[in-house]
Each structure stands twice: as structure tokens, then as C-alpha cells.
Amino acid sequence: MEIWDILQIEPTKDKRQIKKAYAKMIAMYHPEEHPEQFQEIHTAYEIALRLAEDEEEKTFLHENETTAFVENENQNEDIFGENENQREEPSWIMPEEIQKRAKKYALINEREKNRERLTGAFLEDLAMEKLNEVIQEGKVQSHDCWIQYFKDPIVIQAIKLPSFLKRFTDKITGLSFEKVTLQMMEQMIQADMLPAFSNKKKLCSFLKKDGYKKIQKRIWKKRCIIAASVLIAVWGVVGITFAYQSAKERRAREVFRAPEKIQEYISDKYKIDCQVTYDPSYGLAAIGFGDNVPHGDPYENYEVQTDASGDIPDTFELAWSKDSVSYEDIVDNYSDEVLKLYAKECDISLSVSMRHKVEFYDISLDEYKPKLLAFLGGVQNSTYVQSGHDITLTVGPSLTSRSDFEITISKDQELDPAVIAIQLEQCESNALIK
């Protein structure tokens, strides 16, 4: 396509007309939206402008040469008419004319340089605007985005300019790129940039050293983040699992060791109606209960309240180890309270802290036998024994006596008064002998 068709004007030597056509066309084809058309229009404009200047220069030289020739002929005629020895050199080769022409050539050259400088600055600004868009939109890590950037016609022209290289280097220094992006930049610099560019070495150094260092640092940082994330996730899962298991165990423990569950166990065990309550301070402050029930750590203490009907005590105490997982480990003083009731009723001296020992000191054996038999009979008929629980008693004249004998009271074993009487007599005689 002819340059005049591209500029949409007839062939002309008028610079002003050419510039107007160029301004009109670039207004229609913006370089960012139509980079190829813009480059084509710009090239046609430069060629048309150069042709107009060349034609202007030819016209100027032709007019000056013609004028100089005519003037020289007139001077020669005057010189030859007077004296041939006085003939001078033609004016068109005089120093003044040479200086004049040199100024003209310098002016044309300066215009050309200015035009190239303005064009380069324009392309450089457009390329930097595109670079800023890539950085500001957060696409520095996108290799495809950089491929599109370096394939742009404006960037292809601008990357050959030394000033653009300096601005480009200052702009990307400090940024982090993908490895393939750095390799692509390095290849383009080696291929398109002249070795004389002072900033080329600096940019290559950044790409080869600082760029790859940043990549390694970024990779290491990503690995650390991933490792930390995995560690946190693992600890989180472990913590959640532990918390879940702990909560589950705590809930199961709370349900298993709830006073309501203990109450069901005691009611079924002793065949009584009762209500069990838990009080952390109850075991430590328990007064009036036997020493057969431990108090305090590592035990939990409970109080059992009954309807106090018949031979059932109104209250008794429970103790359960905190580490126990079986109701069978519950310790109570129900038997102690039952023995106390019948001992009081039969006027029998009883020590529940010393193996349920029944004592008969300061009393005659004849007087003590009926009381002991009544006491043993009452205990055997008690709700406690009839529910299937045995009680073992120690009978002796005093706490320190060594002539004691034991009696086991159970539901199915009948007490023989004659045997008990003989045992009492032997116990008394042994105590007297000692």
C-alpha cells in the first residue's frame, strides 16, 4: 500500500498537509488499541515527511546554484572585458556559500534527530504505561502476561532505546518473577539490545543473580508456609481430636458418675429407697461416720438419704475413687449404721472402727448373753443382711483383748445360741487366765 493511501491524501510536498493528515490518522487509530495500524501510519508519515524535505532541499540547492551561476557569468564577463589576469574563482565555491550549505545540512540533520527523539520518547512512554499496567494489576507472576507484553509492537520498538532500558531496569528491580519469565527477558535482551547500552549489564546481572535469588527465596518461603500450614493443620486435627475425646470422656464420666446413676446402683444393691447427693466438702467435714469410709483425695464423697423406716438408717456415706470405672469399688458405711442402730437398741458396746467389735467389759456374762443374742438376731433380720450382705463381728471382753472370737452374720446361716454361749465362756476364761 502506498504511503499516500495510508495517510489518505494525494501525493504532496507540503509538510503542513502531511502533518495534518498524520494527526488525523493517529487520532483514529490509538497506539494501544491499534498498534499495528499506528506503526504503519507512523512509518508512512516519516517517509512522506522525508520525501518532502528532500524535495525542498533539491529545490533550494537548484535555486542557489542557478543564482550563483548567473552571478558568476556576469562577473566573468566584466573581468574578461577588462583584464584576463584579474579573473577570480566562481562564487558558488566560495567559503560563504559552503558555510551556508553546511548550515542547511546541519538544520536538516537536527530536524531528523529531533523527530527520532520525539518518536522514541513517545514509544517509550507508551511502553512504560503498559509496564505500569502489568505491575499495578498484580500480574508480575503471570508468565503469559509478560509474553503478551514483549510481543506488543510498541514494546518491540521501545526495547531498542537506551533510555527505555534504564527506566525498565529501575522499574522491575526489586520485583519477583517466575523462572521462565526471567529466562525469556534475558534472551530478548541478548537478541534485541545493543552491547553498548550501559544499563544492559546491570539488567542482565539483576536477571541472572538477584532475580534467581528472589525465586529461590520465594520458593523457600512458600515451602516454609506450606510446612507451617501442614504442621498447624496436623496440630489442629490432633488438638480437635484430643478435645473431642476429652469432651467425650468427660461427658461419659459425668453421666457414669452422676449421683442419679449411683442412686440407682445403691437402691438396687440394698433394696432401699434413697437419694444420693454430691458435696465436695462433705467428705472432709463428715462427722459421726465411721472411719471405714475414706475422705478427700483421691475419693469423691456422697451422702445417701433414706426414708429411715424400720432398721434403715436415715443417712450414710459413700466414697468412690476418682480413677475407678466400676460401681463395685464404691465404699459405704451402711453396715456400720445398721450395727449402731441395733447396738443402741440392745445396749451393746460397739466399736465400728475396730473390725465391728462387740465388747462386754464391766458386765457379767449372764447379763451379757441375752443382750448379745438379741443384738445378733436383730442384725440378722435387718434389711441389710436380708438383702444378701454379710456382716462379720468380733466379740471380746475389751478393745485390747486377745481372746476374741468372730461371728459371721448372714441371711442363710442360722445363729446357734449354745455355740455362742460356749464361745463367750471360753473367751471370758481365757481373758481371766491372761
CA-closest candidate to residue 90, choices 107, 68, 109: 68
CB of 12 within 8 A of CB of 52?
Answer: yes
User: Chain centroid to CA 413: how far?
Assistant: 74
Task: Identify which has the larger pLDDT, 295 or 188.
Answer: 295
Q: In terms of residues, how long is the chain?
A: 434
User: Which range among 52-66, 266-280, 370-384, 398-412 shows the weakest confidence by mean pLDDT?
Assistant: 52-66
Q: Is residue 298 part of a domain?
A: yes
Strands 349-351 and 357-359: antiparallel
Residue where a domain terminates, one of 310, 332, 354: 332
Q: Is residue 379 part of a domain?
A: yes
Residues 297, 363 share a domain = no
What letters, b where the CB count within 10 A reaches 16 and e where it falls short, cover 66-77?
eebeeebeeeee
Task: Identify which has the larger pLDDT, 78 or 136.
Answer: 136
pLDDT, one tens digit per residue, over 91-107 is 444 556 666 666 677 77
Residues 284, 267 share a domain = yes
CA-closest candidate to residue 315, choices 294, 341, 297: 341
What letters, b where the CB count within 10 A reaches 16 and e where it falls short, cover 23-39?
eebbeebebeeebebbb
Residues 428, 349 share a domain = yes
* Grid cell 467435714 in the structure block, residue: 285
Residues 427, 301 share a domain = no
Residues 55, 142 share a domain = yes
Residue 214: CB atoms within 10 Å: 16
Three cell numbers written together for 299: 475419693
| 293 band by pLDDT with thresholds 50, 70 and 90 | confident
Tell whether the model's pLDDT for residue 285 goes beyond 60: no
Residue 58: CB atoms within 10 Å: 10
Where is mean pLDDT largest: 84-98, 371-385, 415-429? 371-385
Q: How many domains does the chain have?
A: 3
Residue where a domain terminates, one of 283, 309, 332: 332
Residues 274, 196 share a domain = no
Q: Is residue 92 part of a domain?
A: yes
Q: Is residue 181 part of a domain?
A: yes
Tell whether the model's pLDDT for residue 297 goes beyond 80: no
- Average pLDDT value for residue range 231-256: 84
Task: Identify which has the larger pLDDT, 111 or 255.
Answer: 255
Residues 344, 288 share a domain = no
Q: Is the pTM of this model over 0.75?
A: no
Element (H, E) at 177: none
The whole-number pLDDT of residue 203 equals: 57
CB of 128 within 8 A of CB of 167?
Answer: yes
Q: Is residue 279 part of a domain?
A: yes
Tell whether the model's pLDDT for residue 199 goes beyond 50: no
Query: Which residue type occupies 98?
Result: I
Residues 202, 67 share a domain = yes
Residue where a domain terminates, one of 297, 332, 367: 332
Residues 54, 74 share a domain = yes
Q: Is residue 122 part of a domain?
A: yes
Query: In this structure, is the dihedral angle defined by the CA atoms of residues 12, 16, 21 and 25, taken in order, positive or negative?
Result: positive
Residues 116, 17 share a domain = yes
Residue 372, domain extent = 337-433
Residues 352, 204 share a domain = no
Residues 181, 156 share a domain = yes
* Grid cell 525542498 in the structure block, residue: 56
Q: Is residue 422 part of a domain?
A: yes
Q: Is residue 174 part of a domain?
A: yes
